[in-house]
Amino acid sequence: MIEKHKGKSIAFAVFLALAVFLLVYLGALPGNSRAREEGSEDQFRSPYEYIKLFTDTLNLVQKNYVEEVEVKKLVYGSIKGMLADLDPHSSFMPPDMFKETQVETSGSFGGLGIEITIRDGVLTVVSPIEDTPAFRAGIEAGDRIIKIDGELSKDLTLMEAVKKMRGPKGTKITISIMRKGALSLQDVTIVRDIINVVSVKAKMLSDDIAYVRLTQFQTRTSSDLNLKLKELKDEHQLSGLVLDLRNNPGGLLQQAVAVSDYFLKSGLIVYTDGRISKQNMRYQAHDDGTEGDYPIVVLVNGGSASASEIVAGALQDHKRGLVMGTPTFGKGSVQTIIPLEDGSAVRLTTSLYYTPSGRSIQAKGIEPDVLVEAGTVVKREPGKGLMHDLKEKDLKGHFENAKSSPEMNEAHPSRDAEPESGSGIRPEAESEGGAESAAAAAGEDWRNDIQVVRALELLQGWKVFRQLDNNR
């Protein structure tokens, strides 16, 4: 008898929440005028009639289903289905799942270190977080997770998938992924670990051009960025910065705003727009504490999402930084967690992010100013020439330049000589201290990262043109 009463109380509490949600979802005014305007042939005209349909169905299942079913299970399942039909980021959290989101991960629990979403109905990796088990296992942005420990993921909500991937530190999990271009599933076994991410990494790429990598937007990201740049400026006169947001899945909105504010003197950083106007937000930049006005190249890719896109979009719209790389992920929606009376909660998309110029990030992402695909710098073997366009001197029987002197020929080595790129990177140069040694010590040979190399070359070229302009 007590159990029955408890079940009814839970059902009634969730029913009230469901009723309120349906009123908002279907339109608060009886008659649903929008449906009438669109000429809907649906026999129901009032949200209350939809609620009656639900309660009738609930009652029918309770009385006639082959086995007795707990009311809570039916109601929870209904809410899950309702939210899953909206968008990939709206979901229902039972009490245990909601509680986990309120408490930081304890020492006995760990994870894989990936940001996931549901894209085209399939569980998809937004980005692996640097220096985490998933990153070390070779998981890539865009990988589709078909199975989790042998169980198909297609029927899981986003929150259910996250819960399955979390677990005690040291335990193993096998995910089956389908990678773009692959013909079969690939099983990847990963050992869970505590996810302690260093969100800011910095070094010098040359004597005066700095590199800062933001892996995620955490509580201390903006303050750590300030500290790292101060350390570099104490020893170097900066003339440019490469801000690397690739494979950064996002994080805290306030930190994305703070990082943007660090490089902007004034103006709008980002704003949100939703149906409830009083919940809309606008974030402005301030002159106090603004970093120097040296040029910035922002690196992005398909793994740059949410907070990363806010920063890239703000710097791009204010012409404060040039965005380079490939289009970003396109996660520009805001989720609000609304607690329910029984300890569960609804995670509901309530608004969208917009860049200062009014561009929506959602689904479109940020388009780079300079498109540079990912890749590695190809080194050639000593003594072998490079492929090049056909020239006059390549033709058999061509006329020699009679005015060239032996001295001139010595001053201009042949194509077989070792070239040096605009970035000062020799194809076979060994580390000679300074920035290159720091990169090697960190285990990151940026000289093989074509996007970083292109960013460096652009900043060096900009510096040359600025000097030419000053010498006019």
Q: What is the pLDDT of residues 407-454, one digit of tens each?
A: 444 443 333 333 333 333 323 333 233 333 333 333 357 889 999 999
Supply the pLDDT for residue 420. Answer: 34
Which one is catalytic: 199, 306, 344, 423?
306
Cα–Cα distance measured from residue 448 to residue 445, given in angstroms and rounded to the nearest whole number: 6
Q: What is the pLDDT of residues 361-416, one digit of tens each?
A: 999 999 999 999 998 766 655 555 444 444 445 555 555 655 544 444 444 333 33
Q: Indicate if 404 belongs to the active site.
A: no
**Mean of pLDDT values over 282-304:** 96
Which one is catalytic: 224, 244, 261, 317?
317
Beta bridge mates, 450: none
The residue written with tokens 């990494």 in the block is 201
Q: What is the pLDDT of residues 169-209, one digit of tens each?
A: 999 999 999 999 999 999 999 999 998 889 999 999 999 99
Which one is catalytic: 199, 239, 304, 331?
331
Alpha carbons within 13 angstroms on the beta-carbon side of residue 367 total 4
CA distances from 127 to 96, 248, 305 (A): 26, 7, 8
Percent of the chain with pLDDT over 90: 64
**Mean of pLDDT values over 231-259:** 96
Is-contact 126 141, C-beta < 8 A? yes
Backbone angles phi, psi at 233, to 5 degrees: -70, -25
Pick the closest to residue 337 from 54, 116, 100, 76 (CA basis): 100
Pick the closest to residue 216 from 246, 251, 259, 257 (CA basis): 251
Q: Indicate if 85 belongs to the active site.
A: no
**Mean of pLDDT values over 12-22:** 52
The full set of domains in the chain, from first to last, is 2-85 (no CATH), 100-191 (2.30.42.10), 200-371 (3.90.226.10)
Q: What is the pLDDT of residues 294-352, one digit of tens each?
A: 999 999 999 999 999 999 999 999 999 999 999 999 999 999 999 999 999 999 999 99
Q: Indicate if 46 belongs to the active site.
A: no
Q: What is the pLDDT of residues 61-87, one digit of tens each?
A: 999 999 999 999 999 999 999 999 999
Pick the closest to residue 76 from 96, 103, 48 (CA basis): 96
Is residue 281 helix, strand or coil? coil
Beta bridge mates, 271: 282, 354
Judging by DSSP bridges, how do beta strands 122-128 and 114-119 pair with one another? antiparallel
